[in-house]
A and B are shown apart, each in its own frame.
Chain A
Amino acid sequence: MHELQPDIPKLVQASSFIFAGTVVELGTSSVANLPPRDNFAVIRIDRSLRSDPALGELRKRVVTVALRKRGELQPQQRAVFFTSDWIQGRGIAAREISHVDAQLEDDVDANIKLLPQRHLADRLSSSVLVIVAKVVAVKPTPFDVRWRNAPQWAIASFDIRNALRGRPTQSTTVLFPRSARPTWALAPRLSDGQRGIFLLHRPPPWAPLPESQQFLTSEAFTLLDPADVQPESQRPLIEKLLGQVGAP
């Protein structure tokens, strides 16, 4: 096979389109305006494992894959394909990153399902404080006119019940963006009374802080990643992951 000892977690991370499929034909194209090439393979998708949600149900659909190497696959052969997106419309084409034996399909699927947990572990690892808390106040900071993509920060304060990482004070506050611009679109938005587990990070160097810092009652922390706010039901998992990631 293409990878003798495949690093499946790494392949999963690198691939936007992963599927188990069967080779239908080699050296041809199923996509309009994409002429056949020797390294093309038309694959029938048996099971989509990771794909752009906009593509919907993909089982039994065909995709033209630009293989990295010719001669490794034969018609009717099954495999799991790690690919990146290419053409969508009048057919689907993708570019192969690697493929592995079809027997590894469930292993690949399990690794894909672990992606959110791996991301959560990364966010826990980079956090300064992890608190179980209730939001008690949310206030906007003055509108930032310096830049159209400015985050338009709001500041939230907490009633902190527990600290799972770091040593917060009751005056600990956090900044979160109110701007709907794409840069900030996925960041969590907090509201009064919201309960949860909050992963507070130091502001990244590129994030422009409010021009006036008078609203901050603690050092500046930010919430920027969707994983930075977790439901309290995630506490056992978070405590387990914190045990694995070590001290800040």
Chain B
Amino acid sequence: MADPLKHHGRRPVHPLDDLLRTDRMPHIWCPGCGIGTAFSSCLQAIKASGVAIDKTVMVSGIGCSGRGAGYARMDSFHTTHGRAIPFATGMKIANPELNLIVFSGDGDLFAIGGNHFIHAARRNIDMTVICINNLNYGMTGGQVAATTPYQARTTTTPLGNPETPFNLPFLAWAAGATHVARWTILHTRDIKESIVRCLQRKGFSFIEVLSPCPVNYGRRNREKPLDTLAIYQNMTVIKNGVSPADATMDMKKGIVLGTFIDEDRPTWQDMYDRLYRKE
């Protein structure tokens, strides 16, 4: 029988194959997981942005999303839990020619790495931080995170989460991020365009991408894989330019998406050069 993948005597090439470590496939992400969708949008954006791939570096921390760096066929670093941002900061400052993309998860960037996030935003380090927010710690089997909604069930909040989650865009804005956006994995073109914009601008850019985790989060919260996508479709409203303070995220009342902040402010490097490299 003919190989259905064969056309005109050659296997077709996926348009992202050149940016993907195809020798590492299959990836570790579970069926129904949204990370791969966001990752594809990210690779598409890298391609579309026109940045030099050989001067572009992807840095990840630890967790499901933290495996992103391992699949990107470019210089890529899988660091320690929570420390992708300071690692990328050192890299950017040591060689300002590099384009830094941090691709990691909500637990990595906002619990263990929360302090690094706010300081990199405050400093306006020129980098793009993409946070895949799946509302829990997926890699370790579904524990409560700093983003888990109030009352949601996880393996470590069997009777519901008693805590209040972070609103990530609001936090990023308050800390000084100069570009702040939120999308879901249903909004692949918006994610892509958002990342293209971030790669073409200077400064600390933050994009939150809501992503389903049916195996760990959905299962314990009566949310079937399609239910999560239905929330992303029916409960979201795009409000570009709205204050991140009003970018609420409530699964029942509604989720505000969009590009909330995009402003110019000198980067850390600009300020350092101005003060310390007088010629």
A and B interact = no
